[in-house]
Amino acid sequence: MTISARIVLLVLLVFHSQLLAISTDLLYDIYPFVRVYKDGRVERFTGTDFVPASIDPTTGAQSKDIEISHNVSARIYLPKNSNKYRKIPLLVYFHGGAFFTGSPFNQVYQNHLNSLVSKANVVAVSVNYRLAPEHPLPVGYEDSWAALKWVISHSKGNANETWLKDYADFGHVYLGGDSAGGNIAHNVAMRVGLDKTDQGIVLDGMFLNSPHFWGKKPIGNENKTKFIKLKRVMESIWIHAYPNSTGLDDPLVNPAKDPNISSLGCKRVLIIEGGNDILKGRGFYYKKSLIKSKWNGVVKVVDVKGEGHDFGIGNSPKAKEMVNHIASFLNQGEV
């Protein structure tokens, strides 16, 4: 063997043993959301950056960070030229990140929310719920529900956040979210519908941007080849985010299996799907399940050609169009 061949072999051996070391230390890998190691280490590869709350130079929207409880915080937003004498709709928003990563505080969501509140002229609360795997579901659902309850407690004068007390119209409250956050928004709206206590608000509607729904079996015209391709990662996300779940047909991730779905607590639902997203069939399936259940409301799916999963929080021209569409939806425009 020549020297260089020996070097190549050595490099390959070292590389291989490192790969082995990595793979044996690894408990599971859901790149780029999370990698979890046997010693308890957790690595996230996206959604962890922090940008401070600010007055946005482009839109003039203001934001600030607040504590809701020991467990939950939020970034809240007020559009430019807000006026105490003319209250505006209130949006409670849940970010995506596969239940494992993301926050209201990173650049993507800061941009998205600044743009949403400015285009729609709404007050927004972007919820910082706790993440798996340190806090497996249902913690994220509980935190999100606690955040909504705190927000609406302002409608009865039981809390004192001035941006909510002074500017929000509690007769026009909306939920919204993307990907895992869309899943959370749906589940929070289910609780609104099933909760019989007087909430003091009207939940007008909800928009779901590429909502994270799934199930054990392919549905309708879902491409079976693609279903199988995605099955492993979708199962891995759900099983690790919610180890105590009943599985992929848990109504929390497969709302079509929810016997209570007709109780969804709002009357207008807008679902936005990227035309190339393998998950988009689940948005149509969700719509079908709502209609079949005799839920008393209006639901629409917008299928945006050429776009992928969660395109709506980005900067593309079609994402900007979607923000305009949502803005109109939040102002009682058609679904």
For the annotated catalytic residues, the residue numbers are: 179, 277, 309
Least CB distance from residue 318 to ligand NAG, whole Å? Answer: 22
Contacts of ligand NAG in 240-279 (CB under 6 A): 243-244, 251, 258-260
Please tell me whether residue 202 binds ligand NAG under the rule CB under 6 A: no
| Cα-based distances in Å from 143 to 67, 119, 126, 187, 292 | 12, 28, 12, 12, 30
Q: Closest CB to ligand NAG among 117 and 175?
A: 175
What is the rounded distance in angstroms from the CA atom of residue 96 to the CA atom of residue 313? 10
Least CB distance from residue 275 to ligand NAG, whole Å? Answer: 13
Which of 194, 228, 239, 291 forms a contact with ligand NAG (CB under 6 A)? 194
What DSSP string runs through 49-60?
Answer: ------B-TTT-
Q: Closest CB to ligand NAG among 159 and 219?
A: 159
Q: Which of 196, 181, 90, 197 shows the shortest CA–CA distance to 143?
A: 181
Contacts of ligand NAG in 44-73 (CB under 6 A): 69-71
Q: Residue 85 corresponds to which tokens in the numbers above?
A: 């004498």
Please tell me whether residue 222 binds ligand NAG under the rule CB under 6 A: no
CB proximity list for 83: less than 8 A, separation 6 or greater: 167
- In single-letter form, the type of residue at position 308 comes to G
Please tell me whether residue 4 binds ligand NAG under the rule CB under 6 A: no
Please report where in the chains the tokens 């900007």 appear, as a residue. 320
What is the rounded distance in angstroms from the CA atom of residue 35 to the CA atom of residue 215? 23
Please tell me whether residue 223 binds ligand NAG under the rule CB under 6 A: yes
Residue 241 and residue 98 in contact, taking contact as beta carbons nearer than 8 Å: yes
Site residue total, ligand NAG (CB under 6 A): 18
Please tell me whether residue 42 binds ligand NAG under the rule CB under 6 A: no
Q: Which of 127, 103, 124 shows the shortest CA–CA distance to 59?
A: 124
Least CB distance from residue 13 to ligand NAG, whole Å? Answer: 37
Q: Closest CB to ligand NAG among 158 and 332?
A: 158
Residues that bind ligand NAG (CB under 6 A): 69-71, 136, 139, 158-160, 194, 223, 225-226, 243-244, 251, 258-260
